[in-house]
Amino acid sequence: MERVVITGLGVLSALGSSPDELFRRLLAGETGVRRLPALIGTPIDVGPLAAASLPGNPDSDGNDSNENGQAILSEQPRAGRFLSFSTEQALRQARLFEPSSRDRLRVGACVGTTLGEKAPWLFGLAQKAQGNAPSQVLFGCGLLARQLAQHLRAERLSAISTACCSGNSALALGLSWLRHDVCDVVVCAGVDVLQPFVISGFRALRAQSADVCRPFDRRRSGVNLGEASACVVLEKETVAASRGQRVLACLAGAGLSKDAHHMTAPDAQGRGACLAMQRALFDAELSSGSVDFLSSHGTGTPFNDLMEGQAFARLLGDRVLDVPVHSIKGSVGHCLGAAAMIEAVVTVCILAHQVIPPTVGLEEVDPQISLDLVCGKPREARVRCVVSTASGFGGENAAVVLTDTSMGKRPS
């Protein structure tokens, strides 16, 4: 089976509008989480958020920044613009931005999201209630995938949803398309933007932290919601080689599973998450002994982080304290459908630079969690093989194995 390689990365997040900027600020221990003045005046206390801004690309309603939260309260479509921004970056790095560069390639577009482009539809509903319904409102997860496919002139597309692990699921689908030879290149993206709709829901579930979140910390109390778009260009190794394209890393395997336990709470034993990671390693033809680093979901909720501690212990056994773990949720917030895709982007940066950013917000590790957590400052480490895992509502779990180019499957 031919190797699948990563040749382009793109990101727009609260902590940067390029992979380099994001990684530099993660290493510096910065956070993009803050309270937004405009939202403090809304009917519900939304807590601190990690809001992102489109650089040099003002919203059509005049709000070019989320500094005061106005963009989040807007009914204008934002997810599509976020998606365009990160995919353009990734395509430029992969030297696939110009349409002519894709002429002879079978291109696929795969978008992972939980909400899709929801704001215009919600606005339409409000108008409908007032007897002033718009004639047509395009909405949903599929709209974003179509937008990307139109831009790419892709012949294959998908909008995939597995709640907060949708980003990893999009990578898994892209990997499958390439292995089954239905595409030569797959542009995988994860995107979700902040909206009162979703902020109020997490608030209703009492899942939001009143302060900057503290993944794996004894005092953790919930998530900070964030927004982002991230993009990873996948292609067959032979296609990248024929184009003379530099390979950034390999997507060696992917694994999906379900907890079959509860709609909003994870399996406390971490069996489902562990199963997804084991499946990803099996898919990559690697063992848990190969893992050098774990990129956690690490949302900062009491249940998730405890579950992940159990899952990592199940996966690694005696090695659990030998493998470093981090979470970036304290830096970029929990970006839902984009979360795992950002983590994939950061993981590729870690493989390139051999340094692991710290877990912002973590000060005192929960004594119930026995992991080698990277906190306080960045850690230099030899990292060749990474498992990046994510979980979501409905008991969804998705993990991917990313390696440097010295590992992974070779063409048979």
Partner 1 sequence: MIAVRAAARLRVNKNEPLLPVAPQAAQAELKPLLLRMDRLCGLSVVVVEKLLAEHSSLRQDFSVADVGIVVGTAYGCHKTDEEYYVSYLQGQPSPRLFAYTLPSAPSGELAIRHRLRGAGFTLSLGRTSGMNAVAEAARLLSSGHVSACLVVAVEVADPAFAQEEVGDAAVALWLSKIDDQPTDGSPQIVTTMEVFVDGAPAKAVEQVLARTKPSPGVWCCDETTWALSKEAWILRQFSTVNAPGGAASGLWCLCEQHQEAAESRGYLCADSTGYAALVVLSPGRLQVT
**Residues between 146 and 165 that touch partner 1 (CB under 8 A):** 146, 149-150, 153-163
Please say which residue, 202 or 216, places its beta carbon nearer to partner 1.
Answer: 202
How are strands ordered across the β-sheet holding 228-236?
A: 107-112, 185-192, 228-236, 4-12, 249-258, 396-403, 385-392, 293-295, 324-326, 372-373
**Residues between 39 and 78 that touch partner 1 (CB under 8 A):** 43-44
**Residues between 227 and 266 that touch partner 1 (CB under 8 A):** 255-264
Phi-psi region of 291 (alpha: psi -120 to 50; beta: other; left: phi over 0): beta
Task: Rule CB under 8 A: say whether 114 interacts with partner 1.
Answer: yes
| Sign (positive or negative) of CA dihedral 89, 95, 97, 102 | negative
> Going residue by residue from 335 to 374, which x/- string records binding to partner 1, judged by CB under 8 A?
----------------------------------------
Helix (H, G, I), strand (E, B) or coil at 16: strand
| Least CB distance to partner 1 at residue 122 (A) | 6
Burial 325-364 (b: 16+ CB within 10 A, else e): bbbbbbbbbbbbbbbbbbbbbbbbbbbeeebbbbbbbbee
Please say which residue, 180 or 382, places its beta carbon nearer to partner 1.
Answer: 180
Contacting residue, 24, 38, 75, 140, with partner 1 by CB under 8 A: 140
Task: Rule CB under 8 A: say whether 302 interacts with partner 1.
Answer: no
Task: Rule CB under 8 A: say whether 275 interacts with partner 1.
Answer: yes
Q: How far apart are alpha carbons 356 and 346 in whole angstroms?
A: 9
| Least CB distance to partner 1 at residue 118 (A) | 8
Please say which residue, 95 or 258, places its beta carbon nearer to partner 1.
Answer: 258
**Residues between 171 and 230 that touch partner 1 (CB under 8 A):** 172-173, 176, 179-180, 182, 196-198, 200-206
Helix axes 141-152, 79-93, angle to 10 degrees: 40
Give the interface size with partner 1 as a residue count (CB under 8 A). 72
| Least CB distance to partner 1 at residue 258 (A) | 4
| Least CB distance to partner 1 at residue 322 (A) | 28
Task: Rule CB under 8 A: say whether 281 interacts with partner 1.
Answer: no
| Least CB distance to partner 1 at residue 326 (A) | 26
- Residue 103 CB partners (closer than 8 Å, separation 6+): none
- CB-CB neighbours of 11 under 10 Å: 32
For residue 368, what are its two tokens? 């119930």
Task: Rule CB under 8 A: say whether 396 interacts with partner 1.
Answer: yes
Contacting residue, 58, 62, 99, 134, with partner 1 by CB under 8 A: 134
| Least CB distance to partner 1 at residue 225 (A) | 13
- CB-CB neighbours of 397 under 10 Å: 34
Q: How far apart are alpha carbons 156 and 170 in whole angstroms?
A: 13
